[in-house]
Amino acid sequence: MLPGILDEEDTSNDNNNQAAGEEQYINTADIDEIHTAHLFIDALRNASIDNGDLSANDVAMLLDPAEKPLEFDDLEDKYLLMCLRLFIAHTLSSQQTYTDSIDAIRLAHPEDTLLSYDQVKRRVANLTGIKPIKNDMCVNSCMAYTGPYVEKEACYRCGEPRFHPGTTNPRQQFFTIPLAPQVQALRRHHRSARDMQYFWNRVQELLREHAGAGIETLDDICCGTDVLQAVHDGHIGEHDTVLMMSFDGAQIYRNKTSDCWIYIWIIVNLSPDLRYKKKYVIPGGIIPGPNKPKIVESFLFPGFHHIASVNKLPGGGLPVWDANLDVKYISHFYVILATADGPGMVYLNGLVGHSGKIGCRLWCGLVGRHKPGKPTYYPALNKPENYNVAECDHPDVRVDIVLPINASRYSRHLLVLCQSRDQNDYDLRRRETGIVKPSIFSGLPRGSYLGIPNMFPGDIMHLILNIAGLLMGLWRGTIDCDPSDSRRNWAWVVLKGDKWEQHGQDVVNCTPQLPGSFDRPPRNPAEKINSGYKAWEFLLYLFGLGPGLFYGLLPDPFWHSYCKLVSGIRIIYQRQIRVRDQLRIAHLHLIQFTSEFEALYIERRTDRLHFSWQAVHHLSHIAPESLRVGPGICYSQWTMERSIGNLTEEIKQDSTPYANLSRRAVERAELNALKVMVPSLDKDLAKEKTIPRGGINIGNGYILLRAIDSCARDITRAEGDALMEFLEQDVACQAEDIPHGWKPRVVRWSRLRLPNGQVARSEWKESEKKTVNLRSARNVKIRHNQRLEFGEVQYYFRFDITSEVTRTLAMISLYSRPDLDLLRKSSNTLWSCRHQGVAGLVVVEARSIEAVVAMAPHSVTILGEEWAGRVFVVEKPGLDVAEMGGVVEDIPDEE
């Protein structure tokens, strides 16, 4: 370690906004990494609305926003409204399709004043005020000609000229989409302006709750202690715009090189039910590829300059007219979090990355260990036996001690880095501090962001990918094996040969039991794991099906430990996490898995240090991070992943994919702004309020759906007994008034939409379907007699308890209680049971159904014939991800 400041004990815990000293960085040796970062940071600090890329007219529109809703009243407006609706309807179609539609209307109504494609596009841009900022860039994607590089005529890195020979025409450009007009649009209709009050109102509730007994349930970013502190300290005001940035790479086409980079803005002022939906996610910028950008600050600069310059306007922010309050006020931009995958995060936070000596992305200070003579560090907690590598041979590190993020400590270490005397000294200080350069975020005005490194949380989506890559590499025996080790001694290698093939088929056999609301089922891993296996597939495979399918396959010690990992991941993937029990259990199980992982797999062997990945270490941070900035699901990269998918699928095949993608992003921003200002243009909004034909709203977000019997039908004796038992317990029913020998008749219904967006179906109708491609959705989780149960819905029906009381009920066949020993050994992740058929019939209120689940079959090949007929419960991992993203099942009118 460096002497002095780096080995000094830090007793402070300053996690407030930007720590003192950020403006004192010096770079006397002119280290390129630091010098470049400083150039852009200084340019941001000198940003103003006048030295940016907005035209005088654009600036005037921002400074003087309209103070009335956008409405269409007269005849000319009606024609415009029709053209806008046609334009929106043809968003995914070609320009020619819109033109053909207009021409067809003109044939019937030649007197109508209709707009051409180019005219309607200009009107959309003028109505929303959203006009892209276009900047030149290197054809090799090295850098952009922005900020301090705006006057350069050749690339700083590769030397390629900026312009086509003999002209001033740029060879390549990229788009940045200004944020301010979109924020003004969100406040311009009373509905969206009211929605934008969520953050402030929720934080005030939480501050009152926090002042009392403390926050009991974490359900949003608002719950984080750092966020509440920022509000308490006055850094975030009532009308401020709270932002989260997300950055990631994307491949436009699967089968050819087409990488690019995208960043988006998420408006945290909106509730979690809204902010992650496609129509509220704001594209920030598109960086064309296919080469990786070398000076990312130059590409981020226009968007950051826009935020900085707006926050420096008179009054300290953006003038906004609020349609809900009918007032004009100043809204200050506040970047609360910035997220990315591991490789992308180093561009944002300026840290060394996962292979560095101080390689934790949360900069906790854990010192890695490397193999003798090898440069890569690994975050192994336990010191290997006979290990004498200088500066890495520190004693074992306790897994239950996680250092909190500390802005003051970071600021001091960054200062040490920036005082490097020469390149060799810089390399040493970079290794010992874990910092490469100051983050570009530090160029934003003070009070405009949560602080560094506070604002850079972990990402539980890529965590799944990394954990899956590690475990599958170990269990398949495909991970690197040093010459001094032998795979023959690896007791955990179970996925090979016939067992691997059978296991893959076991995964496929579960598919018919996975409801459609579970989204894409995992493909056969034995065939497809190297063919673009997605994060969602790994999540459902390893953390949904895994405890059941790996039981009897993995040796017991490895399976027991793995189940603790599953338990923790399942909890931290919830949107709502109870602090006192669930979060504590998750943290306990995750740190136990981390400790057991080293004991079981690494065994204090130097030649197995490469088994220690940052993903395993990161597990110990998830629960503390949830307390600091809210549940990880609220700032994971799932939203970014979905946005990339939405944008790239819209470009189809194109000879200029990057330019097409950029235009699509601009169009998305324009149409989203237009829809929030004029909700009548949003057909999805109308659809959200519509109950499918014949459906009945039974309250609390539950909708009873067809098909329906044509007339009342007799029920079986067992069903009648179940109904009678229910009636005897119903307080509204006078059971003594039921005549002896009464034979009830019911009208059956087939489906029930739940508040979480899932549709629970029934055995009545699903049994009529062909089993080919069936995705069963009749198994449900319920609360019955004050305990958790799982059952198969036979049908739904409405029953008149009295002349004034009608209940919506479900006839359900309960599964048996679980194998308690197996449940305990699996850390409560494996609920194994049997179908009880008629013996399990009960009647429950339909609104007691909480979720649709899968009942997956155990592997008889692995466990033996005595397991035939046994099933295990699989709840949808990350159900809240789908719900927050507005993903619900498509519902046909009838089955």
**Does residue 476 fall inside a structural domain?**
yes
Sign of CA dihedral 672, 674, 680, 681: negative
Average pLDDT over residues 775-803: 92
- 76 inside domain: yes
Is residue 438 pLDDT above 70, yes or no? yes
pLDDT higher than threshold 50 for residue 20: no
246 and 105 part of one domain: yes
Buried b (16+ CB within 10 A) or exposed e, 302-328: bbbbbbbbbbbbeebbbbbbbbbeeee
Are residues 757 and 780 both part of a single domain?
A: yes
> What does pTM read for this prediction?
0.93
- Residue 152: pLDDT band (50, 70, 90) is very high
Residue 741 lies in a domain: yes
d(CA 515, CA 526): 22
Residue 400 contacts residue 419 (beta carbons within 8 Å): no
673 and 578 together in one domain: no
User: Of 687, 714, 729, which residue is a domain's last?
Assistant: 687
Same domain for 65 and 186? Answer: yes
Over residues 143-172, the mean pLDDT reads 96
- What is the average pLDDT across 674-687? 85
Check whether 753 has a pLDDT greater than 50. yes
Q: How confident is the model at residue 256 (pLDDT cuts 50, 70, 90)?
A: low
Query: How high is the pLDDT of residue 242?
Result: 98
Least confident of 26-30, 457-461, 723-727, 813-817: 26-30
Q: What values do phi and psi take at 199, rounded to 5?
A: -55, -50
- Residues 657 and 698 reside in one and the same domain: no
* Residue 693 token pair: 């034909």
Taking residues 610-632, report their average pLDDT.
96
pLDDT at residue 94 tops 50: yes
Q: Per residue in 355-370, pLDDT tens?
A: 999 999 999 999 999 9
Beta bridge partners of 218: 577
| CA–CA distance, 666 with 176 (Å, rounded to integer) | 9
Residue where one domain finishes, among candidates 667, 687, 707 = 687
Q: Tens digit of pLDDT for each residue in 160-187? A: 999 999 999 999 999 999 999 999 999 9
Same domain? 675 vs 752: no
Task: Locate the DSSP E strands across 198-272.
Answer: 217-218, 241-251, 259-267
> Does residue 697 share a domain with residue 616?
no
- Residues 82, 93: contact at Cβ < 8 Å? no
With respect to residue 358, please indicate whether it lies within any of the assigned structural domains: no
- Asked if residue 15 is part of any domain, the answer here is no
In this model, does residue 93 exceed pLDDT 90? no
pLDDT of residue 210: 75
Q: State the Cα–Cα distance between residues 395 and 143, nearest whole angstrom.
A: 44
Alpha-helix runs per DSSP H in 353-483:
407-418, 423-433, 460-476
Whether residues 713 and 822 fall in one domain: yes
Q: How far apart are CA 296 and CA 303, in angstroms?
A: 12
Does the structure show a pLDDT above 70 at 97?
A: yes
675, 706: one domain: no
List the domain range (segments joined by +) for residue 539: 460-635
- Residue 28 pLDDT level (bands cut at 50, 70, 90): low
**Residues 529, 645 within the same domain:** no
Going by C-alpha positions, the residue among 281, 280, 277 that lies closest to residue 888 is 277
Out of 713-727, 824-838, 867-881, least confident range: 867-881
| pLDDT average, residue stretch 835-850 | 96
Average of per-residue pLDDT across 202-227: 89
Residues 715 and 671 in one domain: no
Q: Which 8-state DSSP code applies to residue 695?
A: -
Instruction: Return the DSSP state at 91.
Output: T
134 against 689, higher pLDDT: 134
Domain termination site, one of 635, 651, 667: 635
213 band by pLDDT with thresholds 50, 70 and 90: low
Q: Assess if residue 196 is contained within a domain.
A: yes
For the chain, the C-alpha Rg in angstroms (whole number) is 30
Whether the predicted pLDDT of 736 surpasses 90: no
Share of the chain above pLDDT 90, in %: 77
Q: How far apart are CA 393 and CA 383, in angstroms?
A: 6
C-alpha 556: how far from chain center: 33
Residue 448 resides in a domain? no
Angle between helices 584-597 and 622-629 (to 10 degrees): 150
Q: Is the predicted pLDDT of residue 111 greater than 70, yes or no?
A: yes
Q: Is the pLDDT of residue 735 over 70?
A: no
Contact 350, 590 (CB under 8 A): no
Residue 45: the pLDDT is 96
Asked whether residue 304 is assigned to any structural domain, the reply reads yes
Residues 723-746: what's their mean pLDDT? 77
Q: What is residue 882's predicted lDDT score, i.e. its pLDDT? A: 29
Residue 801 has a pLDDT of 82
User: Is the pLDDT score of 624 beyond 90?
Assistant: yes
pLDDT: which is higher, 429 or 657: 429
Distance from C-alpha of 686 to C-alpha of 681, rounded to nearest angstrom: 9
* pLDDT exceeds 90 at position 13: no
What tens digit of pLDDT does each residue of 379-391 get? 999 999 999 999 9
Mean pLDDT confidence for 510-519? 94
pLDDT confidence of residue 888: 45
Structural domain total, the chain: 3
Q: Sorting pLDDT into bands at 50, 70 and 90, what band is 351?
A: very high
Q: What average pLDDT does range 183-209 have in this prediction?
A: 95
What pLDDT score does 112 carry? 80
With a pLDDT cut of 70, the percent of the chain lying above it is: 92
Do 643 and 718 reside in the same domain of the chain? no
Please tell me which residue, 111 or 254, carries the higher pLDDT value. 111
Cβ–Cβ contacts within 10 Å for residue 892, how many?
Answer: 11
pLDDT-derived band at 739, boundaries 50, 70, 90 = low
CB atoms within 10 A of CB 415: 18
CA dihedral of 433, 437, 443, 448, whole degrees rounded to 10: -40
- What is the pLDDT of the chain when averaged over all its residues? 90
The full DSSP string for 505-561 is: HHHHHHGGGS-GGG-SPPP-HHHHTTS---HHHHHHIIIIIHHHHSTTTS-HHHHHH
Given this model, what pLDDT does residue 259 score?
Answer: 86
- pLDDT for residue 189 is more than 70: yes
Kindly tell me the burial class for residue 774, based on how many C-beta atoms sit within 10 Å of its own C-beta (0-12, 13-18, 19 or more). Answer: middle
More confident residue, 152 or 22: 152
